[in-house]
Amino acid sequence: MIGVTHYVALSFVLFAIGVTGVLIRRNLLTVLMSIELILNAANLNLVAFSRHLGDLNGQLFAVFVITLAAGEAAIGLAIIISMYRLKGSVNLDDASELKG
Amino acid sequence: MGEPFIFWLFAAIVTFGAIGVVAMRQPVHSAICLLGSFLGVAGLFVLAHAEFLGAVQVLVYAGGIMVLFLFTIMLVNVRRTAGEPFVHTQAGAGLVVGFLLLAIVGGTVVASYRVRALSGFGEPANPARLASTSITRTVTDVVDGKKVSTTVTEDVAGNSQAVAWGLYRDYLLPFEVASVFLLVAMIGAVVLGKRTMERVD
């Protein structure tokens, strides 16, 4: 039987892959995609517990998380485009002004 | 066959898609893997009795956000990076941190399962409540100049209708705040993405 434990396990695998992507990739676009993976892991967790407890509130919260993810993607990609205009690259290593 | 098979199929799609996002060299390939991962998550939502959320996942993530990503990849014109590394020089440390995180959270899940906090394997506690609920509301009518209040109980059928009741009745204020948030995000994206115009004096 597939229970809430399976969903939670898959969710934390997805979360760990997303965090690893944020940590190791140089390309800003891929970092943003990894953040989307992390938000998807959170949604999966919410829906799993919503199913387990028979409570709709988890799904409603996931709707708001999806809204936030859409706004975050729009702003993040706009920042990437303006960085590309400024520096001609989208590598994280090239954004080092605050390094000192 | 049945539910376990479908779950493991979608779980494999999600996991390998996510690994592809992190491991692929070209951003376009990462985006395609991300699309597969999104669709797998949508399938899992449907499997977990969240049909409305599955549809929203396909429309918003696999539709809208994916198109945004592809357009940005096209606009920033990522040059051929044949010889360059696509990961940081500290990628080893990042991998170690990722696996440590996996071990810590995994250990927590296993431990909480042992103490029966997640008495997980089995049927959901009350699956019927996800798909249907009864709404009680008070209707006030004016009959012969007097106010008459009657309590009406209606049955709601289907996950979408149940979500709609929750969204528009219990979470009306957060819903409106979310719309303002989307407006702010849209204006911010337009301002950030706009070319700086020449000032006309």
Residues of chain A in contact with residue B129, where contact means CB-CB under 8 angstroms, are 54-56
| pLDDT computed for residue B81 by the predictor | 59
* Assembly ipTM: 0.92
pLDDT(A51) > 90: no
pLDDT at residue number B106: 83
Q: What is the mean pLDDT of residues A11-30?
A: 91
Give the pLDDT confidence score for residue B121 in this predicted structure.
Answer: 46
- Look up the pTM and report it: 0.83
Neighbours of B108 (CB within 10 A): 12
Low-confidence ranges of chain B (pLDDT < 70): 1, 77-83, 115-138, 152-156, 196-201
pLDDT at A76: 92
pLDDT confidence band for A94 (50 / 70 / 90): confident
Cβ–Cβ below 8 Å for A56 and B163: yes
Residue A32 contacts B, CB cutoff 8 Å: yes
Q: Mind telling me how many Å the CA of A94 is from chain B's nearest CA?
A: 12
DSSP, collapsed to helix, strand or coil, labels residue B140 as strand
In angstroms, the separation between the Cα of residue A25 and the nearest Cα of chain B is 5
pLDDT of residue B46: 92
B189/A12 Cβ within 8 A: no
Q: Helix count (H) and strand count (E) of chain B? A: 8, 2
pLDDT, position B113: 72
Q: What is the pLDDT of residue B11?
A: 95
Per-residue pLDDT tens for B23-54? 988 889 999 999 999 999 999 999 988 899 99
Cβ–Cβ gap B130/A66 under 8 Å: no
Residues of B numbered 162-191 whose beta carbons fall under 8 angstroms of chain A's beta carbons: which are they?
Answer: 162-163, 166-167, 170-171, 174, 178, 181-182, 184-186, 188-190
Residue of A8, A78, A45, A17 lying closest to B37 (CA atoms): A17
With CA atoms as reference, report the closest residue to A21 among A48, A43, A41. A41
